[in-house]
């Protein structure tokens, strides 16, 4: 079977990397197409996981509109699909790449599989545009690889037939555990991690912060920054914030937090360096979906700066807490965790055990 992977962002690449290698081990003919919806951050992940794209559309443009990006993906995929002649195309998650590649593939009568299928908020504005991307993709694809029982149930409720749904866990746990093993090897040296060790105080409680959601641009990020300023007054805390490259994020964050004691604003870090930072942290404040999935595996509490999440399992178990972008709520929640959290002993990560890629490969080996 000839399989074509298509992805365009760093999170997609991280989550597809272990599946790519698992399929290769099982003697599938695998090719990779990247749209480069994100460029620099995507390339870092490809290098770390040893993936060389067969097709690179290089579509990233400064302040590109969603319509222009979507049109470019749809248009450029024609030639890729005609050249690659895959039996199956695999897309991931909720990006413009996933939905537009699925549509382009459907137009040519080629089967599509959706990794990390079935996540829903049923609020088309949150996350925007990811919620609608997911719903569009689900209507197009042939095979749905869901990470949790709740995601499976969402698809069943939408009329997807059970035989086309495979519940696997999330491949990000596969990638996380692989990365922890690699960076934990005494013979492995990562220059970025070594630099972080020299500039960050590890004898304080580290609050690790990320943010990139469009719905938080403007007031949302301003409120988050005000909360971080308040928390930074604690003597026992250091805040580490790898700042997203999007100008809507970067300008607000640096304008509010630059040159503040106990707050380290750093450029986006590579995936292995970020995993190392997660391991060192006491808690994580984020609007990221992937971090909500990863953090339970390393026992870190997460405050989610969103009012709704398509990953409710972590919230239900207690790994994550939705705090939105209300300044006082963020401040109070951070203080509460810093002062009271001990551990998640006895709780299992609801997003999987690190064998999702194997389950997907097993299905593809045995399907009719």
Name the residues annotated as catalytic. 94, 116, 130, 212, 214, 244
Contacts of 133-138 with CB under 8 Å at 24 or more apart are 133/94, 133/95, 133/96, 133/98, 133/99, 134/93, 134/94, 134/99, 134/310, 136/99, 136/102, 136/103, 137/91, 137/94, 137/98, 137/99, 137/102, 138/114
C-alpha span between 235 and 204 (Å, rounded): 8
CA torsion 82-86-87-92 (nearest 10°) is: -110
The gap from C-alpha 156 to its chain's centroid, in whole angstroms, comes to 24
C-alpha span between 301 and 312 (Å, rounded): 14
Instruction: Name 350's Cβ contacts closer than 8 Å, sequence gap at least 6.
Output: 148, 296, 313, 314, 316, 317, 319
**Could you tell me the two tokens for 31?**
């090719």
Residue 92 is inside which H or E element, if any? strand 88-92
C-alpha span between 365 and 112 (Å, rounded): 16
Instruction: Name 361's Cβ contacts closer than 8 Å, sequence gap at least 6.
Output: 19, 22, 23, 26, 28
C-alpha span between 312 and 248 (Å, rounded): 27
73 and 100 Cβ atoms separated by less than 8 Å: yes
C-alpha span between 171 and 151 (Å, rounded): 14
C-alpha span between 366 and 368 (Å, rounded): 7
User: SS3 of 239, please?
Assistant: strand
C-alpha span between 185 and 188 (Å, rounded): 5
C-alpha span between 39 and 246 (Å, rounded): 12
């Amino acid at each position: 079977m000839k399989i074509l992977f298509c992805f365009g962002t760093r999170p997609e690449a991280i989550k597809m990397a272990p599946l790519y290698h698992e399929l290769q081990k099982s003697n599938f003919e695998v090719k990779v197409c990247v749209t480069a919806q994100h460029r620099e951050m995507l390339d870092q992940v490809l290098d770390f996981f040893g993936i060389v794209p067969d097709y690179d559309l290089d579509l990233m443009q400064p302040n590109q509109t969603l319509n222009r990006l979507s049109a470019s993906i749809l248009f450029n995929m024609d030639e890729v699909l005609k050249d690659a002649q895959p039996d199956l195309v695999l897309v991931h998650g909720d990006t413009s790449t996933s939905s537009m590649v699925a549509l382009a593939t459907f137009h040519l009568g080629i089967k599509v599989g959706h990794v990390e299928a079935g996540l829903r908020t049923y609020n088309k504005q949150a996350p925007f545009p990811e919620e609608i991307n997911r719903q569009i993709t689900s209507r197009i694809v042939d095979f749905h690889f869901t990470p949790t029982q709740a995601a499976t149930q969402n698809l069943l409720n939408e009329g997807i037939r059970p035989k086309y749904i495979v519940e696997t866990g999330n491949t990000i746990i596969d990638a996380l555990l692989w990365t922890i093993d690699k960076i934990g090897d005494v013979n492995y040296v990562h220059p970025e991690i070594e630099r972080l060790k020299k500039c960050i105080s590890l004898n304080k409680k580290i609050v690790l912060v990320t943010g990139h959601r469009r719905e938080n641009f403007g007031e949302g990020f301003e409120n988050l920054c005000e909360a971080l300023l308040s928390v930074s007054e604690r003597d026992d805390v250091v805040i580490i914030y790898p700042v997203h490259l999007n100008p809507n994020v970067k300008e607000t964050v640096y304008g509010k937090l630059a040159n503040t004691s106990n707050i380290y604003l750093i450029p986006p870090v590579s995936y292995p360096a970020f995993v190392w930072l997660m391991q060192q942290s006491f808690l994580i404040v984020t609007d990221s979906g992937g971090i909500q999935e990863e953090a339970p595996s390393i026992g870190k509490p997460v405050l989610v700066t969103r009012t709704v999440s398509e990953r409710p399992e972590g919230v239900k178990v207690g790994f994550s807490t939705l705090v939105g972008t209300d300044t006082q709520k963020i401040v109070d929640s951070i203080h509460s965790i810093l002062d009271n959290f001990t551990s998640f002993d006895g709780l299992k990560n609801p997003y999987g055990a690190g064998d999702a890629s194997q389950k997907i490969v097993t299905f593809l080996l045995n399907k009719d």
